[in-house]
């Protein structure tokens, strides 16, 4: 797994024990291990992995967003579920003290899903959830929380030419490219530059504040090459 930044905001064992006592719940060990190793952030640009939120679902306890027939939880248990992650589209990943595994509350479906293997590596479960939601394997990278961003517009006619010049000037550490976007990851900046290949000419720069010097180099290059 590629990690976009060296500045990880990890959880200590003391942090996790305190949170478990606060929520009267025992976190699955793979989830605990992930937070202690990597902390909070976004995996594959799609699944946000967070510290536990004990209150978020209380507001949905009386709503009819999901069906409870053949569900891993009963309606009255909804307010007791602990949110530990979410997709960028608003699907919630939760746990409950009476349920083994991870409970997915899909935004676009009334059917609550259960991913029962709570002993496998946490990223294996996250990838299964990602495949269920998006129908494809997620890109294997992790963005820790805490990045800044800058949006620019490319005034030139050929985004591919800008990308070629950029990659000649800056050595990439990781690359994602498809018909819609090219993302060049730079560990020295603690982030990446996302070039939109669709209409609009958007260039987005994501960076960490501890890398401001290198960010300024990247920004200067982009502005000198048609970005405003």
Q: What is the Cα–Cα distance from 195 to 160, expressed in whole angstroms?
A: 9
pLDDT digits (tens, 9 = 90+) for 1-22: 999 999 999 999 999 999 999 9
- Do residues 13 and 29 both lie within one domain? yes
Q: Give the CA distances from residue 23 to residues 83, 96, 98, 154, 192, in Å, rounded to whole numbers and listed in that order.
A: 11, 10, 13, 48, 36
- Do residues 130 and 155 both lie within one domain? no
Please answer whether residues 83 and 47 qualify as being in contact, where contact means their C-beta atoms are separated by less than 8 angstroms.
no
**Which residue in the block uniquely carries the two structure tokens 């990943």?**
93
pLDDT digits (tens, 9 = 90+) for 112-148: 999 998 889 999 999 999 999 999 999 999 999 988 9
- Do residues 128 and 201 both lie within one domain? no
Average pLDDT in the chain: 94
Q: What pLDDT does residue 155 have?
A: 93
> Is the pLDDT reported for residue 79 higher than 80?
yes
- Do residues 96 and 55 both lie within one domain? yes
Task: Specify the pTM.
Answer: 0.91
Q: What is the Cα–Cα distance from 185 to 191, expressed in whole angstroms?
A: 6
Domain at 25, CATH number: 3.40.1580
Q: In which domain, by residue range, is 203 found? A: 147-224
Domain at 202, CATH number: 3.30.310
């Amino acid at each position: 797994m590629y990690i976009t930044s060296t500045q990880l905001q990890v959880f200590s064992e003391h942090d996790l024990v305190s949170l478990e006592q606060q929520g009267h719940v025992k976190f699955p060990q793979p989830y605990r291990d992930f937070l202690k190793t990597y902390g909070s952030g976004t995996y594959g640009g799609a699944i946000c992995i967070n510290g536990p939120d004990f209150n978020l679902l209380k507001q949905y306890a009386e709503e009819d967003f999901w069906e409870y027939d053949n569900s891993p939880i009963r309606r009255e248990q909804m307010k007791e579920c602990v949110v530990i992650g979410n997709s960028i589209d608003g699907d919630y990943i939760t746990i409950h003290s009476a349920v083994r595994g991870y409970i997915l509350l899909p935004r676009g479906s009334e059917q609550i899903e259960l991913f029962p293997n709570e002993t496998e590596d946490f990223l294996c479960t996250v990838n299964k959830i990602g495949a269920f939601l998006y129908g494809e394997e997620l890109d294997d990278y992790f963005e820790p929380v805490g990045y800044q961003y800058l949006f620019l517009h490319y005034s030139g006619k050929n985004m591919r030419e800008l990308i070629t010049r950029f990659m000649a000037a800056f050595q990439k550490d990781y690359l994602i490219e498809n018909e819609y976007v090219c993302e060049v990851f730079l560990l020295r900046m603690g982030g990446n530059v996302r070039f939109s290949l669709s209409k609009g000419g958007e260039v987005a720069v994501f960076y960490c504040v501890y890398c401001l010097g290198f960010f300024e180099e990247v920004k200067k290059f982009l502005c000198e090459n048609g970005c405003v």
